[in-house]
Every structure is written in structure tokens, then in C-alpha cells.
Amino acid sequence: MIIKSYKIEKYPWVEAIDCFQQYSDNKYSLLLTGQGESDIAGFSLIAYNPVAVYSFHPLGSTMLQNDKTIPMEFTPWVTLRLLISTLNYESLPYPANRCGVTGFLSYEMAHTVEKLPGSTKLNYKLPHAYYCIYSGFIYFDVQSKSAFKIEISYDSKPLEQEFEKIPDSYIIGSIYPDFSKEEYCTKVQQIRDYVLDGEVYEVNLSQQYRAGFNGNPFTLFKNLYRKNPAPFSAFINLPNVKILSISPEQFIKGDGLQVETRPIKGTAPRYMDQEQDLLSRNGLVDSEKDKAELHMIVDLMRNDFSRSCKVGSVKVVTPHRLEKYTNVWHLVAIVEGVLEDDKDYIDLLKACFPGGSITGCPKVRSMEIIDELETSRRNLYTGSIFLMNQQFMQSSIVIRTGIITTNIDTNEQTLFFNSGGAVTIDSEPEKEYDETIHKVTHFIASGTKEYR
């Protein structure tokens, strides 16, 4: 596939989430947006009118193009490299040079990088990797408050448009977790035992929640985003699956050869009472346990970056900084590097995937323990949602994310979401459990009530 022509025109400034309302019912439409510090929330993007869709499953991969579905033989990594190398978005003028291949890599893509067990239960079906090529974009430059509509023509025609109009309301039923509090605390202690035995330093333990859902997924996304406008938020409308991500965590950003990652480790709850909130904040800032968690992952990410970056270029720019969100405080580090001349973003993604902040240290042994102790397959959770061309990339760690599935036989909808945290030798089981609850407060608070 090649780009034949393009058109860029000014577009009236409006918040991206409000603009996306008109595209939210379009199948395969996508929104990337967020708020936060100026160095992490610089742009928003709407993508619509897909030209090609690539879906990779363990039992068979497909490409949807020219309204025909055909089998795919290439692996997800090879396909992604082929797409970004042939679609030269980076050669277009600004802001079309900030467009590119969009999609996601699920946590299960770790099996293409390392030899891992796979004993957890699959509760919903989603591609292990998914890429989409669009002909329509709206780009929002948050800093200058300017917006642009971008139309791109290829040597393939856009897919036939499909719409699914859903009433603008929703109801979430009762929420069921994988584990009781006692069970989760027992698993935390099991990880502490592994640490004492010298097998790991840190493991990210999580569990899955599920609930019945009825209504409009984008309305739920808007509600969650208004309460917690995280900088790496995303909404993706797939057939029978909707992805609602309110993620605060950047995975990898690339601008030319310059690359960076911003792992999060260390979480404390927010409170309405200012004095209590300040105590929680200061407790996190002064916590040697949380700083140690972050420093371990920083070392892991430095090592992963060094596999694709020039010798001496990988640096810890910020060992830890405090970031404020609606329901939690976070400690965040910034690691930068410069890619080797013979490496690209695909090499870096493979070297770092999945992110160390959501696996543990050492990574492979941590993922083996995750498979042993967690019940449900993570699927997209702790994978990555991304936008990429040869000279620009932005990607997130998929946390604080809901997946809404529709059963094609019964039309019943189900909401799935996960929460977890890092466990070290200093972890207190009950506090670790409480942290997982704080992270998904907005999902839990949205339950058993109708919203419009």
C-alpha cells in the first residue's frame, strides 16, 4: 500500500473528546487524547474512514482491505515494520507527519518475544496485535490550541462505512473480581516468599474484574475521562469490542532517533480532605519502598533500551517525579536514549515488550510467576496502544482500561477491567490490595446505576 495524495486544512478548535462524538459510532474509529503536564499531553488525534485492518490471532491472522478479508502470512512484528517503511507519513508536512499506523499490542505478544507458559483463562477474545490504516484524521495541537483535518488517499479504497447507533446512556451491573481480598493477600505473600528465595526482586500482580453492561461504551468513556483525564487515554471502536483506556503511563515515545520511556511505580490515594491528601502525597514522596520499586524498574528499562540504543546514550533524566491524578498520586521516572543507526522503533518495542513496570524484575521470571498466580489472561491489559511512523511514535501502557465485549449470539455486553500493583519484600498484603482498589475507583463507582 502507498500514499497517493493528501490534503490538510484548518479545523475549528474544540476538545477532541467532544469532536469524537460524531465518529464514536463508526466501526474502527479511534481517539487518542489526554490532559496533564505539557511534556506528556501535547496532542490529540481522531482517526476514521479505515482503509485496511490487520488482526493477528494465534490460530490465524487476517487483513481486511478493499472490503475483502484475506489470510495473512507475515508475523505481527514483520507486518508492522513493512507498514511503517512503505507508508511514508513522516515525509508529509506537519501535522500529517504526526499520523501513522495505529493499533495495539496485547500482553500476550510477550509469547512472541520470550518462551512463557500460558495457563491462565481467556475470558474474552481480542487480537494479540491489531493495526489500522486510516484515510481521515483530525489532529489537535494542545499547546497552540490549533486543529487540522487531514485526508489521505492510498492505492486502496476506504472500507465500506458501518455505523452502530446506540442510545447515549449505560448501566453497569454488579462487579465480580477474580479474587477475594484474602485470596489476593495470600498471593502477595507467595510473591514475598519468591523474593526471599532470591528468585525475583519485584512482581506486578493483578486481577481481572467483570460486570454486566448495557448501553453506550463511549458514554462510559466520557464519564471516566471527565473524572480522570489521563494523558494517554484512548477509545477504539472494534466490531463487538470497545476499548476504553484512561491510562496515565507512557510506554515509549520516539521523535527521530531520540526515544524515551516513563515508567510509573509508586501509588498513593487522593482524598477530598486537603490535609489527608497532603499526608498521602508526602507519604509517597518519602516512601523508600516506592522509590526502590521505581529504581528497580528504571534499571530494567535502561537495560532494555541499551539493546537498541547507542552506547552511552541511555540516561536517567529524572529518577522520580510526582504526578497528580484525580484519584491517585504517582511516582514517575524518565529514561532517554538515542537509537542506533541500524535500529528502528520495532526493534526497541520488541526489546522492551512488555513494559517492566507491569511485569517485574527480572522480567522473564516475573512473567512466569504472573502466569502461575493470576487466574485470567491479561489480554490487552498491560499491553500497549500506539501511533507510529518511521520518525514519530507515541505509545502507552494499557492500564486503567475497560474492555466491553458483545456476544454476537445473545447481544449481551460484558465489561472487563484489571488492576494490580508491584509486590516487593517490603509489601504489606492488605495495603497492596487496597492500592488495586484505588486504581479502579472510577470503574467501581460507575456500577449499578444508569448514566446519561
pLDDT (average), residues 87-102: 97
Of 342, 344, 376, the residue nearest 107 (C-alpha): 376
Of 344, 336, 310, 356, the residue nearest 80 (C-alpha): 344
Task: Kindly indicate the confidence band of residue 452, based on its pLDDT and cuts at 50, 70 and 90.
Answer: very low
Q: In which residue are the cell numbers 501511533 written? A: 387
- Spell out the residues 6+ positions from residue 278 whose beta carbon is closer than 8 angstroms to its own: none
Task: Kindly indicate the confidence band of residue 443, based on its pLDDT and cuts at 50, 70 and 90.
Answer: confident
pLDDT digits (tens, 9 = 90+) for 290-321: 998 999 999 999 999 999 999 999 999 999 99
Catalytic residues: 249, 265
**Domain 3-162+170-451, what architecture?**
4-Layer Sandwich (3.60)
Asked if pLDDT for residue 375 goes beyond 60, the answer is yes
pLDDT (average), residues 118-134: 95
Between CA 318 and CA 306 the distance in angstroms is 17
Q: Strands 392-397, 401-406: parallel, antiparallel or unpaired by DSSP?
A: unpaired
Q: In which residue are the cell numbers 522473564 written? A: 364
pLDDT digits (tens, 9 = 90+) for 155-195: 999 998 877 777 788 999 989 999 999 999 999 999 999 99
C-alpha grid cell, residue 130: 491489531
Residue 442 is predicted with a pLDDT of 73
pLDDT digits (tens, 9 = 90+) for 195-251: 999 999 999 999 999 999 999 999 999 999 998 899 999 999 999 999 999 999 999
Q: Report cis status (omega within 30 of 0) of the bond before 58.
A: no
C-alpha grid cell, residue 437: 482498589
Q: What percent of the chain has pLDDT over 90?
A: 84
Distances (CA, A) of 85 to 27, 350, 389: 26, 17, 8
Between CA 243 and CA 402 the distance in angstroms is 6
- Of the candidate ranges 131-135, 227-231, 368-372, the one whose mean pLDDT is the lowest: 227-231
Residue 440 is predicted with a pLDDT of 81
Residue 261 is predicted with a pLDDT of 97
